[in-house]
Every structure is written in structure tokens, then in C-alpha cells.
Amino acid sequence: MDLTEKNLHAALEGREIGYPIHFYQLTESTNAVAFRLAVQGASEGTCVIADCQTAGKGRLHRLWQSPPGLNLYMSLVLRPHLYPSSAPTLSLMAGVAVAGTLKAYCPAGIHLKWPNDVYINERKICGILSEIKTIGKRIQFIILGIGVNINMTTEGMPDPLRNIATSLKEETGKDISRLEIVVKLLDSITDQYHSFLSEGFGVIRTRWRSFTQMIGQCYELSTGNTTYRGEILDIDERGALLIRREGNTIHQVLAGDVVIIKEQP
Ligand code: BTN
């Protein structure tokens, strides 16, 4: 069992991002715990990890499958001095950090799907859920919640996930240490966060683009209640997806989730 309170303390003690560490064998949701700790004043870098979540939160109120002993469920408290409008760019930064970490295991095939799903070979391996609390016109804190499928097998997945999700074990054929992924991922997040704070989103945007295959493709998109077809042009300086809609108008998709329904040639 590589993810234990003792191992995590030994590996993470003193880190700027990743410590203090709060480890739970079982909890509802690491995001919910991290949010509560942040409300109580938890410092920047505070990390919550669980072996198993009973109500792991996904985007759009979906449940995130969180069986014990297999995957990584981690949430970080960040307190950047930024406007709330920067929150989407911090989520994109987390996606870049995850993609950079997993690339070392599967160099051929890591892709980011806007806003911040991580895919290997067309199957989702990681989801990121960020939640913010504002104070006045500023971010008071942001919780970055990251779920990575590590040693879950396709066979062990519930039916609806079998054809759309994957794990590091499925892709590499090996059991991978979750502790190793925690340490590498926190190294990567620390690097990306420093770049973000010192150089701004531009540098992260360039890295994000290098991990995506979406730009230049035509997709049918649905956001909230609206479904439309468009060519994906880019992500802009606020982290919005820029698409050209039929009729040639340029549209920014910033809020909510974009589901790719069908790729067009
Ligand atoms: C998505 O829908 O793609 C986002 C999934 C985010 C799941 C992670 S697991 C750790 C953290 N705690 C949660 O309750 N959710 C996030």
C-alpha cells in the first residue's frame, strides 16, 4: 500500500505546494474537505488526498468514480492574488501539469481536451474540478481537484466508462506507484504555478496548445442548452475556447462545459 499517511508525510513534508498533507482512507470528496479547510484558513499549498471517495465530484454534478486502492484523488488549496476571471486559466494550468507528468509514462499519446480533461488514446484518464471562493473582487482561494485513473482496469470500471475511460495501468501494462505520481505531479504543478505567477497565462497557453489536438478541428459542441457546430480556432488569453460558428461569427466559450459530440472532417 503506497498511499499512507506516513509515506505521504515523508514524501511531501516542507513542500510549498503539497504540504500540509491531509490523508483520508475514506472521505466524501477531497474537494469538499479542502474547501472546508480553506474556509477555516488552510494555507496555500495545503493538500488533501483520499484513498477512496464516497461522493467524488465531477463537473456538471456528475459523480467521479473513486474506488479504493487504485487511483489518485487529490485537491490543493491555492491562494493567488488574482481576479476571479483568472480561475479558468488556473484550471488549464493544472491540465498542463497533469499532461506533462503523464507524458513520461505514455509519451505518444497525451492530449488535453478543453477545458481540462486529459486523454490518452482517445480515452479519459484524468479530470480536474476547480472551485473558487471570492472575497470582494479577488479570489480568496481556489481548490484544484484532480482525479487520475492509475491502476483501475477497464474490467473494473462500471459499464458506462468502459469504452471512454482508461488508466495508466491499461496504457502501460504495469502497476504504477500512486505515491510516485503524487510527487511528480506536485513537482509539475509547482513549476507551472511559478511560471503562471511570474510570467502570466501566456506561457501556460503555449504549453496547453502543444498538448491539444482540438485546434483547427470542426466539432459539434453543446454548452448548457445550446448545441452548435463550429471550427475550433484557439484558446484565448482568458482561457476561453474560440470557435468559428457557421455563418463565420467568432464565439468565445468560457463558462460551463463543452461536450464534443462528433468530430467533422
Ligand atoms: C471531471 O468531471 O472531469 C472532473 C473530475 C474531478 C475529480 C476529482 S477527484 C479529486 C477531487 N475531489 C473531487 O470530489 N473531485 C476531484
Q: Closest Cα partner for 223 from 264, 265, 263, 252?
A: 252
Strands 47-53 and 21-27: parallel
3-state secondary structure of 27: strand
Measure 123 CA to ligand 1 centroid, in angstroms. Answer: 16
Q: Which residues line ligand 1 (CB under 6 A)?
A: 29-31, 53, 56-59, 62, 64, 73-75, 117, 127-129, 145-147
Whether 212 shows a pLDDT value over 50: the answer reads yes
**Residue-wise burial string across 228-262, b where 16 or more C-beta atoms lie within 10 A, e elsewhere:** eebbbebbeeebbbbbeeeeeeeeebeeebbeeee
Stronger pLDDT, 254 or 63, i.e. the higher one:
63
By most ligand atoms within 8 Å of CB, the mutation choice from 31, 52, 113 for ligand 1 is 31
C-alpha 249 to ligand 1 mean position (Å): 34
**Predicted TM-score of the model (pTM):** 0.94
Closest CA to 62 of 164, 214, 133: 164
Q: What is the mean pLDDT of residues 121-144?
A: 95
62 CA closest ligand 1 atom index: 2
Task: Determine the residue type at 112.
Answer: L
Of 13-22, 123-132, 190-199, 229-238, the one with minimum mean pLDDT is 229-238
40-99 pLDDT, tens digit per residue, is 999 999 999 999 999 999 987 889 999 999 999 999 999 999 999 999 999 999 999 999
CA of 245 to the centre of ligand 1 (A): 31
Residue 264 has pLDDT above 50, yes or no: no
Neighbour tally for 11: CB within 10 Å: 17
Distance, CA of 5 to chain centre: 23
Which of 3, 64, 117, 189 maximizes ligand 1 atoms within 8 Å of its Cβ, making it the mutation to test the pocket?
64
CA-to-CA distance for 233 and 105, rounded, in angstroms? Answer: 29
Report the nearest-CA residue for atom 16 of ligand 1. Answer: 145
pLDDT in tens, 150-193: 999 999 998 889 999 999 999 999 999 999 999 999 999 999 99
Tell how far the Cα of 58 is from the centroid of ligand 1, in angstroms.
5
CA dihedral of 78, 83, 88, 89, whole degrees rounded to 10: -80
Nearest-atom index, ligand 1, CA of 60:
2
Which residues have CB under 8 Å from 229's CB, separation 6+? Answer: 218, 219, 220, 221, 245, 246, 264
Distance from the CA of 79 to the center of ligand 1, in angstroms? 19
- For residue 31, what are the CA distances in angstroms to 34, 143, 226? 5, 7, 29
